[in-house]
Amino acid sequence: MRLRPFLALGLLMLALPAAAQVRTAAVNAREPIEIAADALEVQQDKRTATFTGNVNANQGSMVMKADRLIVTYAQGGGDNAISKLDAVGKVFLSTAAETAQGNNATYDVPAGIITLTGSVILTQGQNVLRGERAVLNLATGNSRVEGAPAGAGGDGRVRVVIDPNQPGAAVTPATAAPAAGNAKGGTTAPAVVPKAPAAAPKAAPK
């Protein structure tokens, strides 16, 4: 593994290969999801609900913020059976142990997998990882951060800033495929969001 280290203000920056694995806080993906936003639009024929403006979604210890959040309901599922959440614009995730941000995110609710894309930054205390894509497994706490391919405006590397004086998640190079979540068809998390395709719903209070 080729490293380019330098020491500044007690921090160590490394350039890792195309992907790195890191331990993150596990989150119970079966917890209810509560969403608050400025506006809500429901398309019953598409089984979607779109929240816009200061969107704030909470599930247990995890908070997701974005400009827009699209809730897609599972076909043939119950009123609250959610297939996925698509967060668009200034996405920010936080748990008790770390924060992550990027341009967009897709949350596969049954699998408990969040895929964050676009200028991704994962922060744990003073430790910071930067890449183009991150796959977060909420059930296991295993996450993978990938750099942008060399032909896509990047050099294919992940940037890491580590505070050697602060305990943090172990960061290791990764070459395997992103960690898989629970098998499809697992228990779907209940959600405090509009029922589909019921009557026009109300957004959760701020």
pLDDT tens for each residue of the chain, 206 residues long: 232 322 233 333 444 445 556 666 667 778 889 999 999 999 988 899 999 999 999 998 899 999 999 999 988 766 678 899 999 999 999 988 889 999 999 999 999 999 999 999 988 888 888 889 999 988 888 888 888 766 555 666 777 677 676 555 455 544 434 334 443 333 333 344 555 544 444 555 54
Residue 18 confidence (pLDDT): 54
For 3, 19, 82, 120, 132, the CA distances from 101, given in Å and listed in that order, are: 25, 17, 23, 6, 11
Q: For the chain, give the secondary structure using H, E and C.
A: CCCCCEEECCEEEEEECCEEEEECCCCCCCCCEEEECCEEEEECCCCEEEEEEEEEEEECCEEEEEEEEEEEECCCCCCCCEEEEEEEEEEEEECCCCEEEEEEEEEECCCCEEEEEEEEEEEECCEEEEEEEEEEECCCCEEEEECCCHHHCCCCCEEEEECCCCCCCCEEECCCCCCCCCCCCCCCCCCECCCCCCCCCCCCCC
Q: Are the C-beta atoms of residues 111 and 102 closer than 8 Å to each other?
A: no
Torsions phi, psi of 30, nearest 5? -95, -5
Question: Please, what are the domains in the chain?
Answer: 6-173 (2.60.450.10)
Look at residue 148 in the predicted model and tell me its pLDDT: 72
**What is this structure's pTM?**
0.69
Two tokens, residue 58: 């909470």
**pLDDT score, position 44:** 87
15: how many CB neighbours lie within 10 A of its CB?
15
Q: What is the pLDDT of residue 149?
A: 67
Q: What is the pLDDT of residue 188?
A: 33
pLDDT at position 11 is: 38
pLDDT of residue 195: 54
Query: Is 94 in contact with 62 (CB distance < 8 Å)?
Result: yes
CA distance 55 to 49: 13
